[in-house]
Amino acid sequence: MSLLLKNLSDDDADIYRLVLSSTGISHHLRKEGNGWDIRVNDTDYEKALNAVEQYNKENPELQKTEDPLYYKYQRTFTGIWASIILIACHVAIAISDKSDLFVKTYGSSAFHILHGELYRSVTSLILHADPLHLMGNIAGIAIFGTAVCTIMGWGVGWLMILATGMVGNLTNALLYKTGHISVGASTAIFGAIGMLSAHQFFKKFKQSGQKIKAVLPLSCGLALLGILGSGAHSDVMAHLFGFLAGIVLGSLYSLFVKGPKAKGYQAGSLLLTFGLLAMAWLKAF
């Protein structure tokens, strides 16, 4: 079952229970901590979500909290697993003593990408120049990757993060055209920051009296880009393009998707993410 609402008061739980019952949606209430949780069958999730949102829209004066629907946040630790995968890949390459060859052959080379080796926009995200470079990026993946997945889900989130990394590298190649090569997951990390900024922007923009404050998340995202993405030996333009890709994809998600999809969508998206990574490396080899 999928968690629809969390930490409801007794009165709110009764109200939403009646809303779901009136639309014939099977649901389960359970007391957790300081409030009630409501779960519905995965197949009824979208219908239940629409029913609750419609009720809140028609009865705004009864809405007790700024953001009562729990669907926007899901607990996940996939950022840790992604970091472990990056570490394992780096160690394997280091043991082979072919780090320089991997960077030259599979890095994000503007010239080679524009001459058909599009897979480099993906393979370069896995490669890192040295342990210090790796440590910075796994921290970013663990923090910002996990944050994106709490909003979009553990499958859709990683697919979107990978997409921002690919778009960032491809756009960077169009800018430089030749004489430029880079590696590292940081382009995708700044894509994640862009998506988080866009999500918070739309979240605040939709709230009464918060439209001016909605600019703050975007300002914070730009500040992080300036602080974390412009250091020595950093590919500033790749970071910028990844961030902008994140803004665009995050905006589209916030406008057209109401929350993390059910487990079937998450599993399919995660398989597609691994599939894209596998196809890129198979094409490279």
Residue-wise pLDDT for 147-203, tens only, equals 999 989 899 999 999 999 999 999 999 999 998 999 999 999 999 999 999 999 988
Pick the CATH number of 78-284 from 1.10.287.610, 3.40.190.290, 1.20.1540.10, 3.40.50.970: 1.20.1540.10
Angle in degrees, CA 160, 137, 254, rounded to 5 = 25
Average pLDDT (256-285) is: 89
What pLDDT score does 8 carry?
83
What pLDDT score does 137 carry?
95
What pLDDT score does 259 carry?
65
In the chain, which ranges are E strands?
2-8, 27-32, 35-40, 108-109, 181-182
Q: Which two tokens stand for residue 158?
A: 């990683």
Output the DSSP codes for 65-128: SSS-BGGG-----HHHHHHHHHHHHHHHHHHHT-HHHHHHHHSEEHHHHHTT-TTHHHHTTT--
What pLDDT score does 229 carry?
83
Residues in Cβ contact with 186 at an 8 Å cutoff, skipping those fewer than 6 apart = 136, 137, 140, 229, 234, 235, 238, 239, 242
Average pLDDT (275-280) is: 97
What pLDDT score does 55 carry?
84
Share of the chain above pLDDT 90, in %: 56
Angle in degrees, CA 247, 253, 259, rounded to 5 = 135
Q: Which two tokens stand for residue 161?
A: 């993060």
pLDDT (tens digit per residue) in 67-98: 444 444 567 889 999 999 999 999 999 999 88
- Annotated active-site residue in 121, 182, 186, 197: 186
Where helices occur in 177-205 by DSSP H, the ranges are 186-205
Angle in degrees, CA 280, 282, 285, rounded to 5 = 110
> CB of 229 within 8 A of CB of 186?
yes
Highest mean pLDDT among 17-21, 73-77, 233-237, 274-278: 274-278
Say if residue 246's pLDDT is above 50: yes
What pLDDT score does 61 carry?
57
What pLDDT score does 67 carry?
47
Q: Supply the angle between the helices 78-96 and 131-140 in degrees, to the nearest 10.
A: 170
In the predicted model, what is the mean pLDDT of the chain?
88
Q: Which CATH superfamily is domain 2-72 in?
A: Hypothetical protein rpa1041 (3.30.70.1530)
Say if residue 30's pLDDT is above 60: yes
Q: Is 239 a catalytic residue?
A: yes
pLDDT (tens digit per residue) in 115-135: 999 999 999 999 999 999 999
Say if residue 65's pLDDT is above 70: no
Q: Report the candidate in 237, 223, 217, 242 with the shortest Cα–Cα distance to residue 160.
A: 242
Domain locations in the chain as residue ranges: 2-72, 78-284
Residues in Cβ contact with 32 at an 8 Å cutoff, skipping those fewer than 6 apart = 6, 7
Q: 276 or 1: which carries more pLDDT confidence?
A: 276
Which of helix, strand or coil describes residue 97? coil
> CB of 139 within 8 A of CB of 252?
no
What pLDDT score does 212 carry?
81
Which of helix, strand or coil describes residue 232? coil
Cα–Cα dist 121/247, whole Å:
19
pLDDT (tens digit per residue) in 209-228: 677 888 888 999 999 999 88
Q: Is 233 a catalytic residue?
A: no
Say if residue 66's pLDDT is above 50: no
Cα–Cα dist 1/40, whole Å:
5
Say if residue 62's pLDDT is above 70: no
Compute how many other C-beta atoms are within 10 angstroms of the C-beta atom of residue 280.
Answer: 22
pTM of the predicted structure, to 2 decimals: 0.77
- Annotated active-site residue in 83, 239, 254, 269: 239
Q: 124 or 34: which carries more pLDDT confidence?
A: 124
Average pLDDT (18-24) is: 89
Angle in degrees, CA 176, 101, 165, rounded to 5 = 45
Q: Which two tokens stand for residue 213?
A: 């404050």
In this structure, are strands 108-109 and 35-40 parallel, antiparallel, or unpaired? unpaired
